[in-house]
């Protein structure tokens, strides 16, 4: 890391990447013109998945493929594994990293709704030390994160919470792979013995400038059985909670409708 700090001190305006699947595309598209480029793909301190018992730490420069292959992720955070499995394509997953997905902060970032429902915390590093920020506070807007110059996203911390029975992720897009989603939903449900919702965590992607969450909708589901009728009210609330845009992939009306409809995938 010291080498990295030295480089960033010499080149404070350098653009930083690891896999390059977002940054190098923007570079080629002429959207950026940095004086220097720094590639983090081999910085050992930023790579790897460490299981600390109650929590797991994923280094920012860990590729999506490595995360998907790690048994602890599928075991403890299936909602994240399901999202990464449909992110991009195999070569994109070989190169792209979770840190990149977070810092790019696309409204459609596939790992983001899962990270929100998992109450993930990101760790930011600088020569002065590290600081932890909840992911929902770290991402400020489309393409904008709480990173000062000289700081680097070091990793993501996920706390194990074996309370959920349903771990759901679905992205709706124009194709089955390499799709920038037009609406997505990550959902965690804890069920009572009678099969009603005891607790819920919900996060929608691609239907707002950042991931959309709603404590109100989560509470509205409590006590409800997993039937379409019981979820109707929540779907109506979801359509009101999101703020999608029209773009070349889909219209706002369609996205709004799908945001509500995605909840019905949780019902039988």
Partner 1 sequence: MIHFTLNGEEIGTDAPPDRRVIDLLREDLGLTGAKESCGAGDCGACTILVDGESRLSCLMLAAQLEDREITTIEGLANGEELHPIQEAFVQHGAIQCGFCIPGMALASVDLLNRNPSPTRTDIRHGLAGNLCRCTGYRKIVDAVEAAARLRENE
Which residues are near partner 1 by CB under 8 A?
A: 19-21, 24-25, 28-29, 37, 39, 41, 65, 88-92, 94-95, 176-178
For residue 182, the surrounding DSSP H or E stretch is none
CA gap 33, 35 in Å, rounded: 7
- Of 41 and 232, CB closest to partner 1: 41
- Least distance CB 34 / partner 1 (angstroms): 10
Q: Which is nearer to partner 1, 89 or 243 (CB)?
A: 89
Report the residue number, 19 or 114, with the smaller CB distance to partner 1. Answer: 19
**Pairing mode of beta strands 55-59, 152-159:** antiparallel
At 81 the three-state DSSP class reads helix
Q: Least distance from C-beta 233 to partner 1, angstroms? A: 36
Please state the closest distance from residue 7 (CB atom) to partner 1, in A: 13
Residue 157's DSSP bridge partners are: 57, 121
Give buried/exposed letters for 2-25 (b at 16+ CB in 10 A, else e).
Answer: eebeeebeeeeeebbbbbbbbbbe
Query: Which ranges in 11-106 belong to alpha helices (H)?
Result: 23-28, 64-69, 71-76, 78-85, 90-95, 98-104
Nearer to partner 1, 176 or 229 (CB): 176
> Nearer to partner 1 by C-beta: 78 or 134?
78
Report DSSP state, residue 74: H
Q: How far is CA 9 from CA 6, 14, 37, 83, 124, in A?
A: 5, 10, 13, 36, 17
Length of the chain, in residues: 268
For partner 1, the closer of residues 11 and 55 by Cβ is 11
Min dist CB 266 to partner 1, Å, is 24
In the bound complex, what is the minimum distance in angstroms from residue 24's beta carbon to partner 1?
5
Q: Where are the beta strands (DSSP E) in 160-229?
A: 166-172, 183-191, 197-205
Q: How far is the CB of 263 from partner 1 (least distance, A)?
A: 26
Residue 160 corresponds to which tokens in the numbers above?
């194990």
Report the Cα 110 to chain-centroid distance in Å. Answer: 5
Q: How far is the CB of 83 from partner 1 (least distance, A)?
A: 15
Instruction: Give percent helix, percent strand, percent coil of the chain, each to the nearest 5.
Output: 35, 25, 40
Q: How far is the CB of 25 from partner 1 (least distance, A)?
A: 5
């Amino acid at each position: 890391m010291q080498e990295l700090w030295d480089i960033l001190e010499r080149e404070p305006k350098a653009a930083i990447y690891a896999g390059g699947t977002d940054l190098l595309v923007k570079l080629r598209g002429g959207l950026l013109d940095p004086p220097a480029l720094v590639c983090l793909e081999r910085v050992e301190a930023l790579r790897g998945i460490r299981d600390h018992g109650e929590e797991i730490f994923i280094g920012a420069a860990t590729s999506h493929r490595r995360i998907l292959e790690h048994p602890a992720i599928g075991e403890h955070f299936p909602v994240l594994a399901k999202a990464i499995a449909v992110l991009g394509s195999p070569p994109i997953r070989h190169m792209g990293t979770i840190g990149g997905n977070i810092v790019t902060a696309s409204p459609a970032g596939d790992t983001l709704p899962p990270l929100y429902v998992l109450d993930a915390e990101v760790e930011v590093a600088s020569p002065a030390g590290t600081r932890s920020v909840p992911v929902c506070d770290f991402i400020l807007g489309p393409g904008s994160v709480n990173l000062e110059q000289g700081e680097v996203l070091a990793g993501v911390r996920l706390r194990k919470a074996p309370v959920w029975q349903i771990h759901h992720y679905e992205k709706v897009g124009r194709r089955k792979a390499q799709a920038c989603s037009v609406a997505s939903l990550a959902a965690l449900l804890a069920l009572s013995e009678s099969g009603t919702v005891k607790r819920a965590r919900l996060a929608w992607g691609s239907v707002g400038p950042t991931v959309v969450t709603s404590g109100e909708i989560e509470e509205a589901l409590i006590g409800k059985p997993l039937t379409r009728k019981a979820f109707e009210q929540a779907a109506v609330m979801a359509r009101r909670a999101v703020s999608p845009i029209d773009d070349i992939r889909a219209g706002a009306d369609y996205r709004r409708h799908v945001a509500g409809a995605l909840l019905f995938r949780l019902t039988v």
